[in-house]
A and B are shown apart, each in its own frame.
Chain A
Amino acid sequence: MRVEFYGVSRQRAGVGELEVTAATLGQLLTILSSEVPALSDLIEGDRLHPALAASLNGDRFVRDPHTPLDDDDCVLLLSADAGG
């Protein structure tokens, strides 16, 4: 599936998106923490740091590491604070 990075997560990852294979949000975060070390302190084990938010396909926001993911899903990572 595709992971899209916005804001700080994009700046840290150095790319706008990545292709990752994972069955759950928790697996995805564990993989990202390993493959993109610059993100590791925004990911606590298999969970998001409170400062980071994840949206499934731009629809609902998810935080439960057991959230199932399909191959055609897109997970968007952005700052949890949308203040402007």
Chain B
Amino acid sequence: MFGYHGRFLRIDVSTGSAERLPVPESVLREYLGGTGLGAWLLLREGQASGDPLAPSSPLIFAFSPLVGSPLTTTAKFAVVSKSPLTDRFNDALAGSGFAIAGKHTGADAIVIVGRAPELSALVIDNGIVRLEPAGDLSGLPCSAAEETLRGRLGADFRIASIGPAGERLVRYATISHDGRHAGRGGSGAVLGSKNLKAIAVRGNQRCDWADPSGLVALSRDLSKRSFGPATEKYRELGTASNMLAFNRFGTLPTRNFQSGSFEDAARLSPEDLRVPRDRARSGCVACTIGCEHIYGKNGVRLEYESLFALGSLCGIGDPEAVLAAIGRCDDLGIDTISTGGTIAFAMECVERGLLDEPWLRFGDADALVRAIDLIGRREGLGAQLAEGSRRLAHSIGHDSIAFAPQVKGLELPGYEPRALQTMALGFAVAARGADHNRSGAYEVDFSEKVDRRHATLENVQFAIETEDKAALMDSLILCKFLRGVFHDFHAEVADILRSVTGWNVTPDELRDTARRIVRAKREFNLLAGWTPAEDTLPERFLSTPLPNDPSAVLSREQLGDLVAEYHRQRGW
């Protein structure tokens, strides 16, 4: 077999036992790797109806056929589990060396079940598994835990770890590696529930490629194109360049989605941020784009989603405060989007007199950082905030769920759905909740294909196309920042996959594969208790116009029709 080992490692950390189990080639061809393989393995474990934080609940690290190849942006891995935030399917991707080292342990995926007897590091050394005591790492930020472990085990190990928030089972805790985060959905809490602080991997078991010279030629061509205008935004300014543009379009979520424009957007834009501050660029291993823009002496990586969630969404316009808040989230190991969304929701509850925490106000930077710290310690209000906005809304009552910014329990990213209505559909139907990575429907809204403010049934096919494309990219695994580089995505990817695996893959086969992967996620959700009522948006988005853009109106009936058409076209 080319491109794969044809097996996965299943580890029970209750006992320290490990099995190498086969993955049939037919399965690998049908699900590829990453998210797809993770979904297949998750279904195989049969724990869809269980508690995501129970020992029996699996946590899966899935690699891909392309990782370790010369193809740009392929050093990524998927973390797949049932989410403790949504109780639904969750997959989160992160980049860099852990993906390569993980694949080199000799496994296409690592499935972890059980609970270690004490706080431990799971060490996988070229396929040999052991548990190391990690009590001395308790409470450390991910970066410190990683550094300490590499010092102890060896510099050629690559480490994925959780911060203090993961140890305390904050429901949106992240798993981090080398400053990059498998951020959404709370995988960090799942790893924490297994009493694992970190996973350390290294190995020398490489896979062969079917057509090495062909792969090298394709890789060179893709790398060359990755330096062009299609990726310039990421290279030169990073995702933060969305800030001014989205504000201009009235799609920048502000003060818990009460508005789509923010008076201090310019202060948070990279055009303003970089002037007085040190700025450095970085990127994942094996990436030619280099999208990471690191600001300030403390080295905070700035992304649009973090800027919006801890900036405009909380009414904070002070760039130093937002940078500090992002850095704090990174230290604690929590998803900035869910952190900002939950805190912003709480701020509005305070504003409305529904929550007796008068210190927690929109625009108060000290309050924001205090709230983040309380979340990390699960202390006071932080114990409630650590549960996410949906659970917080249920405990507050008073119909506050109407303005809790979540779908299926996952907080909305920085795209205002009333003004980006194909994205609104994408949020409503995505398997892991409100999601801009598993649905790229905003691409369609920012194009001449649709009227972003008035979605019709014609928008639905575009939403499906972006969802299918995302499923493929997350399974191959290729970074989505590369998507503008392809002239004919399915044909080019078929060529790439053929050169790695030797399979006679066609573009139509890849389209079928994408649909299969999306269907697998849905199958898991059905087993986990999904009902059609979940495929919607909070009432705020369906009944309250945007003050800055009154023409952007999305009704409950309209969204219902879009969702129904989505299910019809999916054949569900």
What is the interface of chain A, defined by CB distance below 8 A to chain B?
4, 6-8, 10-11, 41-42, 49-53, 55, 58-63, 76, 78-84
Inter-subunit contact A76/B446 (CB<8 Å) = no
Query: Quick check: is B344 within 8 A (CB to CB) of the other chain?
Result: no
Known: A62-B448, A84-B305. A6 touches B484 (CB 8 A): no
Candidates B229, B250, B308, B480; contact of A83 at CB < 8 Å:
B480
Query: Quick check: is B87 within 8 A (CB to CB) of the other chain?
Result: no
A-B interface pairs (CB < 8 A), number: 92
A-B contact pairs, 11 of them (CB 8 A): A7-B237, A8-B237, A11-B236, A51-B228, A51-B229, A51-B232, A58-B248, A80-B484, A81-B483, A83-B436, A84-B242
Chain B CB within 10 Å, residue with most, of A58, A78, A81, A84: A84
Tell me the residues in window 119-143 of chain B with beta carbons closer than 8 Å to chain A beta carbons: none
Query: Quick check: is B298 within 8 A (CB to CB) of the other chain?
Result: no
Inter-subunit contact B249/A81 (CB<8 Å) = no
Inter-subunit contact A50/B230 (CB<8 Å) = yes
Chain B residues within 8 Å of A82, by CB: 242, 245-246, 442-443, 445-446
Cα A10 to Cα B240 with chains together (Å)? 14
Inter-subunit contact B446/A61 (CB<8 Å) = yes
Chain B residues within 8 Å of A41, by CB: 229
Closest partner residue, chain B, to A49 (CB atom) = B229
Cα A55 to Cα B445 with chains together (Å)? 11
Query: Quick check: is B239 within 8 A (CB to CB) of the other chain?
Result: yes
Known: A49-B229, A60-B448. A84 touches B484 (CB 8 A): no
Tell me the residues in window 444-460 of chain B with beta carbons closer than 8 Å to chain A beta carbons: 445-448, 451, 453
Inter-subunit contact A63/B230 (CB<8 Å) = no
Cα A53 to Cα B481 with chains together (Å)? 16
Cα A5 to Cα B189 with chains together (Å)? 42
Inter-subunit contact A8/B230 (CB<8 Å) = no
> Number of B residues contacting the other chain (C-beta, 8 Å)?
39
Chain A residues within 8 Å of B483, by CB: 81, 83
Cα A61 to Cα B304 with chains together (Å)? 22
Known: A7-B245, A41-B229. A84 touches B414 (CB 8 A): yes
Expressed in whole angstroms, the minimum distance between the Cβ of B420 and any Cβ of chain A is: 9
Cα A19 to Cα B228 with chains together (Å)? 28
Expressed in whole angstroms, the minimum distance between the Cβ of A72 and any Cβ of chain B is: 17
Contact with A along B468-493 (1 / 0, CB 8 A): 00000000000011011000000000
Cα A83 to Cα B439 with chains together (Å)? 11
Candidates A6, A51, A78, A84; contact of B230 at CB < 8 Å:
A51
Inter-subunit contact B241/A6 (CB<8 Å) = yes
Inter-subunit contact B436/A84 (CB<8 Å) = yes
Chain B residues within 8 Å of A49, by CB: 229
Chain A residues within 8 Å of B249, by CB: 55, 58, 76
Known: A62-B448, A84-B242, A84-B303. A7 touches B233 (CB 8 A): yes
Cα A72 to Cα B21 with chains together (Å)? 67
Chain A residues within 8 Å of B241, by CB: 6-8, 79
Chain B residues within 8 Å of A60, by CB: 448, 451
Query: Quick check: is B413 within 8 A (CB to CB) of the other chain?
Result: yes
Inter-subunit contact A8/B233 (CB<8 Å) = yes
Cα A80 to Cα B481 with chains together (Å)? 12
Cα A62 to Cα B449 with chains together (Å)? 9
Candidates B236, B239, B246, B248; contact of A4 at CB < 8 Å:
B248
Expressed in whole angstroms, the minimum distance between the Cβ of B293 and any Cβ of chain A is: 13
Cα A76 to Cα B445 with chains together (Å)? 15
Closest partner residue, chain B, to A52 (CB atom) = B229
Cα A8 to Cα B229 with chains together (Å)? 9
Chain A residues within 8 Å of B379, by CB: none
Chain A residues within 8 Å of B232, by CB: 8, 51, 79
